[in-house]
Structure 1
Amino acid sequence: MTIAIIPARGGSKRIPRKNIRDFCGQPMISYAIAAARAAGCFEHIIVSTDDAEIAAVARDHGATTPFLRAARLADDHTGTAAVVVDAIQQLDRRGLSADSYCCIYATVPLIRACDLLAAYQRLNDCAADFAFSAAAFGFPIQRALQLAANGCATPFWPENMAKRSQDLTPAYQDAGQFYWGRREAWLEGRGVFDGNGLAHLLPRYRVVDIDTEEDWQLAELLYQALQQHDAG
């Protein structure tokens, strides 16, 4: 059995109520739920929230909310892994136990069902603990700059500034869309980035981290462009 767990707390500070705010005509969380449903590989799609309104919206779009998350797990400092472990334990008490769980973030309007499926298949084909979404950085991180108080720039690694891009090791980022993990890996506290997590690569134009109003606007532009492209 596989279960999707979508964390969606009610107390977002930088973008208030962002998990259910309208995004191109639908509540933000609906895109994560729709992708999970379209993937067709989940027996249950669970939303872990402390907020009754978010829970109602989630149910309206096809997810279930068999429990409300405790307030102690809905503050600004609680990590995702703790929320997933709590959800697994809550579901265990209700007789819903799975071999694999996929944590899908609630603010991922560019997510696609095909990526959820492909990452799950990769996890099943090997002995890794996790499979997660990732993307290549668009510029060599070895040439990153730091700014002094007066605005002048210096490189973090001066020795890399004269090197050709193709001679520098490619670097990748966590795309922040989803994290497949085996039951024992979640419960034992193993880390996604401890060397036993498979990176499922996404194109950079389908990756955006939505933390500010500017991020939100960029995400809407990308979503609309992709919709137009897919429509031909």
Structure 2
Amino acid sequence: MADTGEILVVIPARGGSKRLPRKNVLPLGGKPLICWTIEAALEAKLNARIMVTSDDEEILAIARQYESQGVIAYKRPGELATDTASSADVLIDAVQAEQGAGHDPKTLVLLQPTSPLRNADDIRAALSIYREGGCEDTVVTVCEVDHPTAWVGTISEGGLLEGIAPSGKRSQDYRKEYRLNGAVYVASISTLFKANAVLTPQIRASLMPKSRSTDIDDVNDFKYSEYSLKHYSD
């Protein structure tokens, strides 16, 4: 099994959000949304440095509550807190801040705070797959799709459903398909700098259950997460 070297966990959390304002600090299950991701990273016990990168003082103040456990609250430059700032630029900035502090991380674990149901086991599983693959290919968490993509199309201006070729097959007759769920990304930092991207040409999958694969984008996603925390545990 390959050695990942020093690991840097990055949790990027902007203060602004259009569809669900202030979502990263909204209370979910009795604590701010971002706390679920910080605590999952700590519970994974990766022997890693954990950084919350944000432009927002309230988010940074929450992150500082975990400083005694090694969490770093890093205020990113303002130009990296806009809608047009790329994820790669935010991550490169975070790594450069670590390098400026005298550290030399080799492996990046990206955890989006909008995936609060992802747990420590999910993080460890993705890192294990990354190691088993020789630390060359990016690993992403995925879940099974609800319906075959053969049933997905677009609607024209005239109201016609296009892009679907009805076959008459039942959903269970199609080959299983999977989608990115946004919960965990594991990548080489050298790839991040060389390609200015997290994803490699060949990507490995780490499977997560649909029940933990919510990516909060709007109020409906948030309500589903609240419901899941109350009624599910797997």
* Alpha-carbon distance between aligned partners in 2 of 1:168 and 1:32, rounded to the nearest angstrom: 34
1:47-196 to 2 correspondences below 5 Å: 47-62=52-67, 63-65=71-73, 67-127=74-134, 128-148=136-156, 154-158=161-165, 160-165=166-171, 168-189=174-195, 191-196=197-202
Contact 2:191 2:200 in 1 (8 A): no
Q: Which amino acid counterpart does residue 144 of structure 2 have in structure 1?
A: A
Aligned to 1:16: 21
- 1:27 is aligned to 2:32: yes
Indicate which of 45, 49, 52 corresponds to 1:44: 49
Cα distance change of structure 1 residues 201 and 192 upon mapping to structure 2, 3 Å threshold = farther
Q: 136-145 or 183-192: which moved more? A: 183-192
Native 8 Å contact 2:43 2:120 kept in 1: yes
Partners of 1:207 and 1:84 in 2: CA distance: 22
Q: Give the whole-Å Cα distance in 2 for the aligned partners of 1:206 and 1:214.
A: 15
Q: Which runs of 5+ in 2 are unaligned?
A: 1-5
1:181-214 Cα offsets, whole Å, 9 max, x none, are 1121111126555442211011111111211111
Q: Distance in 2 between matches of 1:215 and 1:164?
A: 28
Q: 3-state SS of the aligned residue for 1:120?
A: helix
Match of 2:209 in 1: 203
Distance 2:95 2:37 in 1: 19
Q: Secondary structure at the match of 2:225?
A: helix
Instruction: Render the CA deviation track for 1:213-232: whole Å, top value 9, x for unaligned.
Output: 11111111112112xx46xx
Q: TM-score, normalised by structure 1?
A: 0.89
Query: Matches of 2:131 and 2:117 in 1, distance apart?
Result: 24
Q: CA deviation at 1:5?
A: 0.4
CA offset digits 1:108-159 (Å, max 9, x no partner): 2101101111111111111332111111111101112433557x5525222x
Query: Per-residue deviation at 1:42?
Result: 3.5
Q: Give the SS at the match of 1:119.
A: helix
Residue identity in the other structure for 1:113: A
Tell me the amino acid that sits aligned with residue 187 of structure 2.
G
Q: How many residues align?
A: 225
Displacement of 1:103: 0.8
Unaligned runs of 5+ in 1: none
Deviations along 1:41-75, one digit per CA (max 9) or x if unpaired, are 0421100111122111011135211x311111111
- Across the aligned residues of Structure 1 and Structure 2, the Cα RMSD in angstroms comes to 2.0
Separation of aligned partners in 1, 2:16 and 2:197:
26
Whichever residue aligns with residue 143 of structure 1, its letter is W
Would the aligned equivalents of 2:156 and 2:162 in 1 still touch at CA under 8 Å? no
Give identity over the alignment, percent.
Answer: 30
Q: What is the CA–CA distance in structure 2 between the aligned matches of 1:2 and 1:144, rounded to whole Å?
A: 39
User: Which consecutive aligned stretches of 4+ in structure 1 deviate over 4 angstroms post-superposition?
Assistant: 190-194
> So what's the TM-score if we normalise by structure 2?
0.88
